Amino acid sequence: MVRQAHHERLIAVQEADLALFITFEGVEGCGKSTQSRRLYRRLVRLAVPVVLTHEPGGSALGRRIARLLKWSGGTPISPLAELLLFNASRAQLVRDVVRPALGEGRVVICDRFADSTTAYQGYGRGLDLAMIKSVNAAATGGLIPDLTVLLDMPGDAGLMRKGGEKLDRFHAEPAAFHRRVREGYLKMAKEEPSRWLVIDAGQGKDKIAGIIWQRVSKLLPET
């Protein structure tokens, strides 16, 4: 009976039009990439049609832009240029990956999205938030995640997790920058609590994954 119920659930999930957009956010080293992959693998095991992507990148153009943004080789990049480059990558990702997958009724998991730009270029760099909102909206066509998971932790703690890894442009920013980014994330989450799931990223990986699944499972069809 248990096996039959499980089989029936898989069929129901496969036939459902899910079209869920789930994003992961947080400071450097918070574990969002790990948790987004864990969620992806769990959905795959349940035969849920799912796509995993990331920013910046996720498309051929995005990967080239990501290399420039993270490893500019000493070439100065202004905050405004960062804003536009991230959104150029984002616009391509939305057109090539996100909207087609949602149109097919798939779950799309994205490691970072527009909220990263608000946090980093807005709260971190100090660009005008209204301008960022406008540029983000243009790049995404107004697309907003159904759920955004914020893995919250102090910026310095996240950087310590990186250990001896080579630092890109953002990892190398001073502690004050990462504090502003975290504060920006928490402010956004407070302003839109129905969309955001804030989790203490200092907890164990399995516990975090369980909290995320508890929320995500409620978005999946019932049988």
Rounded Cα distance between 44 and 144, Å, is 23
Whether residue 32 is predicted with pLDDT greater than 70 in this model: the reply is yes
How do residues 141-196 score in pLDDT, each as one tens digit?
999 999 999 999 997 776 666 655 666 788 888 999 999 999 999 999 999 999 99
Average pLDDT over residues 13-41: 87
pTM of the model: 0.88
Strand order in the sheet with 196-200: 50-54, 107-111, 20-25, 147-152, 196-200
pLDDT of amino acid 155: 74
Sequence-distant (6+) residues with CB within 8 A of 218 are none
pLDDT of amino acid 162: 60
pLDDT of amino acid 9: 46
Show the CA angle centred on residue 136, arms to residues 84 and 50, nearest 5°: 110
How do residues 77-114 score in pLDDT, each as one tens digit?
999 999 999 999 999 999 999 999 999 999 999 999 99
pLDDT of amino acid 6: 45
Which band of pLDDT confidence, cut at 50, 70 and 90, is reported for residue 197?
A: very high
Of 33-47, 56-70, 119-133, 182-196, the range with the lowest mean pLDDT is 56-70
If one compares 170 and 74, the residue with the highest pLDDT of the two is 170
Which residue ranges form the domains of the chain, and what is each CATH number?
A: 19-217 (3.40.50.300)
Rounded Cα distance between 72 and 65, Å, is 10
Q: What is the DSSP letter of 156?
A: H
Q: Are 103 and 143 in contact (CB under 8 A)?
A: no
pLDDT of amino acid 177: 95
How do residues 200-220 score in pLDDT, each as one tens digit?
999 999 999 999 999 999 998
pLDDT of amino acid 33: 93
pLDDT of amino acid 146: 97
Three-state helix/strand/coil letters over 70-130: HCCCCCCCCHHHHHHHHHHHHHHHHHHHHHHHHHCCCEEEEECCHHHHHHHHHHHCCCCHH
Backbone angles phi, psi at 199, to 5 degrees: -125, 135
Omega within 30 of 0 (cis) for the link into 56: yes
